[in-house]
Amino acid sequence: MAVKILAETLLSIRHIAKRFGDNTVLDDLSLDVHKGEVIVVVGPSGCGKSTLLRCINALEPIQAGEILLDGEPIKPDGKNITELRQKVGMVFQSYDLFPHLSVLDNIVLAPRKVQKRAKAEAEAEALTLLERVGLKDKAASYPRELSGGQKQRVAIVRALCMHPEMLLFDEVTAALDPEMVREVLDVILKLATQGRTMLIVTHEMQFARAIADRVIFLDGGNILENTPPEIFFTNPQTERARQFLNMFEFAAVKHHAPAED
Amino acid sequence: MPDLGLSVLLKGKNMARLLGGLWVALRISLIAVAISLPLGILLGVLMAGKNRVVKAILRVYLEFIRIMPQMVLLFLGFFGTTRAFGWNISAELAAIIVFTLWGTAEMSDLVRGAIISIPRHQYESSQALGLNKRQTYFYIILPQAARRLIPLSINLITRMIKTTSLVLMIGVVEVLKVAQQIIEANRMTSPNAAFGLYLTVFVLYFLACWPISLLARYLEKKWR
């Protein structure tokens, strides 16, 4: 038997199904994520990308299959769910900072209350991380005083400060003005160079191509493509993926293109 | 300058009696407020929760109290219970009980409204950070709900203070009743006393409620 040395599997999704009533969103989906891997998930809206991320963080219960993180099953009602969630950082499309807390308190709340870390230590780390994303001077500000791009960078720092083993990004630039998209994507690119394990849902195809180790194309609740970005973007294996990429390129011109929603 | 009838205030112990009446009114309303705020928060959290039976019971309670005029509740609480159950409680205690039931019901609905107005994303991003349900409520949801609650609950508290003017109907001698007694007693000597006395009552109510409004404004600024 040939022994192949692969990076350790961090997250293992096995045959999961997710249904909302009669509507099947994820159907017998399996995926392995290895340590240090950056996976970008693309697909038409409604294909289940966001639901997939929400299932991984146990914000949605699944109806079949299992999700293992470091070999431990993730279930919304599981006893160790808060411990598992600490290992998975999630950043949302709408930032979701806590409006009643300052930037610094937003970041150190979970480290202090969940991980019971000392105030000084947590704040020192928060400030270091803020400095890295260029927002150290905003530590005392409140979320309402920040721009969208700044809020999203704070949200990323908030997730990082919990020392997650893996980061989930759910269309983090979709709600941003174009000129702020870049500043957020740059932060994520920097994280990739640090060897972080990340699962990224995005509509920024250029960014996907630059950052991904693997691109997952999701449609109809299934993984149709699971390939390196060079192959996915130049020579997609399925007709659906080809259509999807085409729609992207001509989105501005093809007014009669079937609206997907 | 017309005779406003203010001179009556200086006669005998009239001013002291009025202040005593105000104290009775404040005692009733503030004891009721002190009990109904925490109780209302507790019931409001339950009403925003998932238990259907609990929610249904609280809904009936809330609707019953809200539909009834306060005067009817006072009559029911004082005269009604005396006949029906043979209770012999003082009018002031009956008033406190009725005001507490009323304040709790209204407060619980305000709390419920404030809690469900917090977007679902706030719960989710809190859970995603590993906070459990209790921590999410304690550190994320309730502090935000409290900020939305300030103007609403201040309005409720001042309404409860003002509505104590009804308890004279069940025989509690509070500030308005004292004013009426003084007016009656001086009908012959100072026929204009009514204006002066009611003006004084107005000022007393204002002085009682104004600091609460100031406190609300301070909190709103501080917690903005």
Q: Please give the CATH superfamily to which domain A9-78+88-97+166-249 belongs.
A: P-loop containing nucleotide triphosphate hydrolases (3.40.50.300)
Residue A252's pLDDT is 54
Residue B154 contacts residue B217 (beta carbons within 8 Å): no
Residues 6+ apart with CB under 8 A from A24: A17, A18, A221
Closest-CA residue of chain A to B123:
A96
CA–CA dist A13, A79 (Å, integer):
19
From the number of C-beta atoms within 10 Å of its C-beta (0-12, 13-18, 19+), residue B42 rates as: middle
Residue A165 contacts residue A197 (beta carbons within 8 Å): yes
Residue B47's pLDDT is 92
Q: Which residues of B touch A100 (CB under 8 A)?
A: 143-144, 147, 223
Name the strand (E) or helix (H) holding B101: helix B91-116
Q: For residue A86, give the amino acid letter.
A: Q
Mean pLDDT by 10 residues, chain A (261 residues): 62 91 89 93 88 92 90 84 89 92 96 94 95 94 93 95 94 88 91 93 90 92 91 90 80 55 53
Distance of CA A54 to the CA centre of its chain: 9
The encoded tokens of residue A245 equal 């990429």
CA–CA dist A233, A225 (Å, integer):
11
Residue B3's pLDDT is 74
Residue B65's pLDDT is 92
Alpha-carbon distance values, A255 to A45, A85, A250 (Å): 18, 42, 9
Please state, for a pLDDT cut of 90, what percent of chain B lies above it.
57
Does the structure show a pLDDT above 50 at B94? yes
Please give the tally of structural domains in chain B. 1
Cβ within 8 Å, pair A110-B121: no
Please state, for a pLDDT cut of 70, what percent of chain B lies above it.
99
CA-based nearest distance A245→chain B, Å = 31
**Phi and psi torsions of A30, nearest 5°:** -130, 145
From the number of C-beta atoms within 10 Å of its C-beta (0-12, 13-18, 19+), residue A198 rates as: buried
Q: Which residues of A touch B144 (CB under 8 A)?
A: 98-100
Give every strand in the sheet of A166-170, ordered side by side.
A88-91, A166-170, A198-201, A38-42, A214-219, A222-227
The reply to whether B1 falls in a domain is no
Residue A3's pLDDT is 44
CATH code, domain carrying B47: 1.10.3720.10
Question: B147 and chain A: CB distance < 8 Å anywhere?
Answer: yes
Residues 6+ apart with CB under 8 A from B25: B161, B164, B165, B167, B174, B175, B176, B208
**Phi and psi torsions of A70, nearest 5°:** 50, 35
Q: For B6-18, what is each residue's pLDDT tens digit? A: 788 888 888 889 9
The encoded tokens of residue A123 equal 């704040």
Structure-token match 């930037």, residue found? A103
The encoded tokens of residue B209 equal 């409620």
Three-state secondary-structure class, residue B53: helix
Domain boundaries, chain A: 9-78+88-97+166-249
Residue A254's pLDDT is 55
Confidence of residue B205 (pLDDT cuts 50, 70, 90): very high
CA–CA dist B185, B5 (Å, integer):
13
Cβ within 8 Å, pair A109-B139: yes
Q: What value does the mean pLDDT of chain B take?
A: 90
The reply to whether B207 falls in a domain is yes
ipTM metric: 0.84
Residue A257's pLDDT is 54
Alpha helical stretches, state H, chain A: 49-56, 81-87, 103-113, 119-132, 148-160, 178-193, 205-211, 229-234, 239-249
Cβ within 8 Å, pair B131-A110: yes
A:B CB pairs within 8 Å: 58
Which of B117, B124, B125, B135 is most worth mutating to test chain A (most A CB atoms within 10 A of its CB)?
B125
Among A23, A13, A6, CA closest to A199: A13
Residue B33: domain span: 6-222
Q: For B17-54, what is each residue's pLDDT tens digit? A: 999 999 999 999 999 999 999 999 999 999 988 889 99
Residue B178 contacts residue B20 (beta carbons within 8 Å): yes
Q: For residue A247, give the amino acid letter.
A: M
Which of B129, B132, B136 is most worth mutating to test chain A (most A CB atoms within 10 A of its CB)?
B129
Residue B70 contacts residue B163 (beta carbons within 8 Å): yes
Q: Which residues of A touch B125 (CB under 8 A)?
A: 90, 92, 96-98, 155
Q: For B151-164, what is each residue's pLDDT tens digit? A: 899 999 999 999 99
Residues 6+ apart with CB under 8 A from B180: B168
The DSSP line for A153-222 is HHHHHHHHTT--SEEEEESTTTTS-HHHHHHHHHHHHHHHHTT--EEEE-S-HHHHHHH-SEEEEEETTE
Q: For B175-194, what is each residue's pLDDT tens digit? A: 999 999 998 888 888 888 88
Cβ within 8 Å, pair B131-A86: no
Residue A160 contacts residue A91 (beta carbons within 8 Å): no
Cβ within 8 Å, pair A92-B124: yes
Cβ within 8 Å, pair B128-A59: yes
Which of A57, A85, A100 is most worth mutating to test chain B (most B CB atoms within 10 A of its CB)?
A100
**Cβ-nearest to B143 among A83, A94, A100:** A100
